[in-house]
Structure 1
Amino acid sequence: MLRFEVVTDIGKKRTVNEDSAAIFAIQDGPTLAVVADGMGGHRGGDFASSTAVGILGEQFLKVDNPASMEEEDWKEWLQETVLHINKTLFEIAENDEDFKGMGTTLDAVLIYGNNGLVAHIGDSRVYTINRYEIQQITKDHSFVNILLDSGEITEEEAAKHPQRNWIMRAVGSEKSIVPDFHKIKLDEQTYLLICTDGLSNKVDYESIQTIVTSDGDLYDKAVELVELANELGGEDNISVILASPYDSEVSK
């Protein structure tokens, strides 16, 4: 049984929060945690992220007989729903000048028991964290990551690269999209963190791990992560979903 906290913040430099984040739960069934970071101008980015999160949540809560669904069924459902969201956003962008060029990152984590299924597009991230390690589950669909994979640049160069915000895959910006899927295991010592790049571009692994695994209230930890990203510049919107098993929390 997991406890969730959601914190989203406009940051220090933006006039609009183009991030969306939400938790959806089916009674006696799985939970769906979703984070999206929109792009494409004030109207487009905000609309893309909120629409993606809204459709996912709406479709999830309508699932027939969720208790009977296996992992493969959920994977198929996630894939089909992401394709539907992509088609919806793409067609709106094609037909309305105000929304031209819009898109959104999308990380949806379906949690059932101690298992998690991650659908990922873009450069928002999913991490699992315990006292011993922090593990990045997702791989950024970014220009800089392509350069990193090919060995053209180092991790240090990637962190300062002028094109580090260039995304190579986003929901709604192409006619068709294929999400990456990852499986995760959660136990009573492991936290789940889903965040937009407003956090991951600013706060290093060590700081994230220290804050998340410290004693204290889960909501306070989520707020502390956001506040640190703002202290370090806060150029972007910052969104965080932080989850932990109930018994791993020590209240202040």
Structure 2
Amino acid sequence: MQVWGVTDRGAVRQQNQDAYAARVLEDGRVIALVCDGMGGARAGNVASTMAVERFMEEFFKPGQDGPVEERIGHAASVANQEIFARSIHDEACTGMGTTLVAVLAGEREAVILNEGDSRCYHINAEGIILVTRDHSLVEDLVERGELTREQARTHPHKNLITRALGAEPVLMADCFRQALEEGDYLLLCSDGLSNVVNEQEMLYEVIHGGEDGQCCQRLLDIALSRGAPDNVTAVLVKR
């Protein structure tokens, strides 16, 4: 298995409050996550960086040999607790939080953890499927039939999320399982990408756009060409 990633502050923001990590394990599996921070001043950057660092530290602690869902769920919960505590005790970080989408991908299956509106897509020659569900106001409106999917893309409140790491003392993340076959891809991204690059464009770049190792950069370049009003992060996993 292989993994590539890129992050960029975009064309408008002065600071990159996204963060990511990606690693191929000794047994060939891939662990990766993308976080999109929020909060005043530097707090969003603090939250996303804390989430990535604490998640990876906890995941790689010796003795973490339980079921996959428990292992990545525990890592995310530890990160959540520390971000929540920092937001309470550090005045400069009041109200900070971050999205998180994490994947542990093996030969036959990936386990995906999701909190907020950073996404995971499953992509192969047959098409593209959004695996995760956004925890956002507009997603709730779409599910209730009050907005169409196309209306949701341009809704003025599309960036209002209903869950985030650090918002509550107990993590309420969703967990998904996705079957994998040879040649399949998983694309993790922040909303800075998914808000400006549509799914068909993602599909084209992953399957037909060129070398796998340059795919994340190609997606970033599309976002930048469209003004990239937000930070942009993409991580591509190949089975």
TM-score bracket, normalised by the shorter chain, equals over 0.9
**Preserved contact between residue 2 and residue 30 of structure 2 (Cα < 8 Å):** no
- Residue in 2 that maps onto 1:141: 135
**Preserved contact between residue 7 and residue 223 of structure 1 (Cα < 8 Å):** yes
1:154 corresponds to 2:154: no
- Residue in 2 that maps onto 1:9: 8
**Preserved contact between residue 16 and residue 42 of structure 1 (Cα < 8 Å):** no
- Give, in angstroms, the shift of residue 29 of structure 1: 5.7
Amino acid at match of 1:190: D
CA RMSD of aligned residues (A): 1.4
- Residue in 1 that maps onto 2:61: 62
Q: 105, 108, 127: which one pairs with 1:114?
A: 108
- Give, in angstroms, the shift of residue 55 of structure 1: 0.9
**Preserved contact between residue 38 and residue 48 of structure 1 (Cα < 8 Å):** yes
Question: How far apart, CA to CA, are the structure 1 residues paired with 2:159 and 2:211?
Answer: 32
Question: How far apart, CA to CA, are the structure 2 residues paired with 1:55 and 1:40?
Answer: 19
- Residue in 1 that maps onto 2:20: 21
1:80 corresponds to 2:79: no
Question: How far apart, CA to CA, are the structure 1 residues paired with 2:222 and 2:121?
Answer: 18
SS in 2 for 1:34: strand
Question: How far apart, CA to CA, are the structure 2 residues paired with 1:138 and 1:215?
Answer: 24
Q: 91, 98, 101: which one pairs with 1:97?
A: 91
- Give, in angstroms, the shift of residue 64 of structure 1: 2.0
SS in 2 for 1:146: helix
**Preserved contact between residue 122 and residue 142 of structure 1 (Cα < 8 Å):** yes
- Give, in angstroms, the shift of residue 215 of structure 1: 5.6
Deviating 4+ runs (over 6 angstroms):
none
- Count the aligned residue pairs: 239
**Preserved contact between residue 83 and residue 166 of structure 2 (Cα < 8 Å):** yes
- Give, in angstroms, the shift of residue 95 of structure 1: 1.0
TM-score by length of 1: 0.91
TM-score by length of 2: 0.95
- The answer for unaligned runs of 5 or more in structure 2 is none
Amino acid at match of 2:36: D
- Residue in 1 that maps onto 2:176: 182
Question: How far apart, CA to CA, are the structure 1 residues paired with 2:54 and 2:14?
Answer: 25
Q: 212, 223, 228: which one pairs with 1:229?
A: 223
